[in-house]
């Protein structure tokens, strides 16, 4: 019998991501698994001026406030109709989404990643790439991709 004890649901708080959260939450409830919610904040790239040694410094408060805001959003990301997982862990990381998600999955021994896909095709897929597609290729565990039925 298939046992899944830990499920990772990365989210960017978009409408598309809500579809993935719904699936992940339902699966976590059914398998009595721990649901890991992860939001990845992009690294801040400060523009460098004419003097290479004059790199603007981002105040530490910015990082704390961004993390706090993301954690608060994770607290309300799961709607009651999504189901009731056995346990929920909420985490915020900084960096490249694909690297942060796959690294988190390895470190936490995640057994399934559930991620939404925007369903882009054609030129927008080529230009914007696909985080979900890269996670499928690089993840240390199975990945369930969920396409939002209300897709653009």
pLDDT computed for residue 48 by the predictor: 60
Residue 9 falls in which region: left (phi positive, over 0), alpha (psi -120 to 50) or beta: beta
Counting Cβ atoms within 10 Å, is residue 137 exposed (0-12), middle (13-18) or buried (19+)? exposed
Please give the pLDDT value at position 131. Answer: 86
Domain boundaries, the chain: 12-44+58-147
Q: What is the pLDDT along the chain (152 residues), one digit of tens a residue?
A: 678 999 999 999 988 889 999 999 999 999 999 999 999 998 876 666 566 555 567 788 988 999 999 999 999 999 999 999 989 999 999 999 999 999 999 999 999 999 988 655 544 444 445 888 899 999 999 999 998 666 55
pTM value is 0.84
Instruction: State the pLDDT at residue 16.
Output: 83
Which CATH architecture does the domain made up of 12-44+58-147 adopt? 3-Layer(aba) Sandwich (3.40)
Distance of alpha carbon 113 from alpha carbon 142, whole angstroms: 6
């Amino acid at each position: 019998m298939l046992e899944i004890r830990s499920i990772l649901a990365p989210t960017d708080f978009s409408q598309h991501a809500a579809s993935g959260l719904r699936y992940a939450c339902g699966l976590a409830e059914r398998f009595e698994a721990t649901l890991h919610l992860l939001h990845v904040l992009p690294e801040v790239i400060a523009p460098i001026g004419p003097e290479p040694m004059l790199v603007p410094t981002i105040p530490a408060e910015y990082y704390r406030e961004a993390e706090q805001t993301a954690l608060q959003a994770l607290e309300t990301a799961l709607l009651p109709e999504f189901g009731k997982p056995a346990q929920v862990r909420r985490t915020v990381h900084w960096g490249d989404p694909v690297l942060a998600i796959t690294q988190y999955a390895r470190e936490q021994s995640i057994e399934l990643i559930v991620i939404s896909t925007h369903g882009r095709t054609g030129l927008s897929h080529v230009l914007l790439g696909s985080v979900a597609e890269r996670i499928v290729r690089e993840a240390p565990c199975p990945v369930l991709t969920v396409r939002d039925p209300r897709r653009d």
